[in-house]
Chain A
């Protein structure tokens, strides 16, 4: 795998937060078309998941996903996305999950290392779920307590 630092080098300081996607934004550009292209990032365990997104007035498109190892800044996987794919966190989770399992499987074959793919699958499911949805779940519980659905 190639070391790619350039992509990550530009993503050092967040410039804002995307409420639409729930992640910190590191780059933003508004095209003449009116679409706002943003690059955001999430941390998951020792990985950095970089999401490339185009936000329109009433639509948000997923443009690309890059997965890096946080410490070494190594690009692990670049996920190409077809045109006009609507963004959702669930979609990103599915794509990242599949990509990481593939990377692990390929690496174990080439390095003659045995990996328990079942355990890897479960670990990734849990880690991605926590990364993308834990805050939403905590907040809905707080909301439910506030409005009286859950009694304290």
Chain B
């Protein structure tokens, strides 16, 4: 990773000299794993979307891969936006995508209700769908470069 991109990860306390590496297979940045005595490997997967960072807690067992948690952060402010924990839930990209969409939509609807901001549910869903789909489809190395340029003083 280039130094500016590492800086964005460091901003979140995620990287010390690039201990996250890009995986082409999953199109995400994978952190150094920890293997327990039981032989399960635990790791973080990071994906970036427009303005947001998605951190997935993943556990890889002998036969299955599980998702343990998802946290979504605002890149500009580092604010934790929403989080969800899972127990014995199989990992799949499609599941993660649908969860992220649901988490963001729920939070935005709740927040707009609190602030008495009128929004159209269909618009919100369509927009979030597009942004999350982009996060999974666009090369994350490209996304990282874009978001670093936007949110860091180069």
User: What is the total number of residues of chain B having a CB less than 8 Å from a CB of chain A?
Assistant: 45
**CB pair B69 A57 closer than 8 Å:** no
Chain B residues whose C-beta falls within 8 Å of the C-beta of A58 in the assembled complex: 34, 42-44, 57-59, 68-69
Which residue, A57, A147, A148, has most C-beta atoms of chain B within 10 A? A57
Task: Give the nearest-CB partner of A136 in chain B.
Answer: B81
Chain B residues whose C-beta falls within 8 Å of the C-beta of A149 in the assembled complex: 108, 119, 123-124, 127-128
Chain B residues whose C-beta falls within 8 Å of the C-beta of A34 in the assembled complex: 34
Bound CA span A20–B77, Å = 13
**CB pair B51 A146 closer than 8 Å:** yes
**CB pair A135 B79 closer than 8 Å:** yes
- Segment with Cβ contacts to B, from A3-11, A39-47, A75-83, A137-145: A137-145
**Chain A positions near chain B (C-beta within 8 angstroms):** 19-22, 34, 56-60, 86-89, 135-144, 146-150
Q: Which 6 A-B pairs have the closest CB atoms?
A: A137-B111, A58-B57, A58-B42, A57-B34, A22-B80, A86-B85
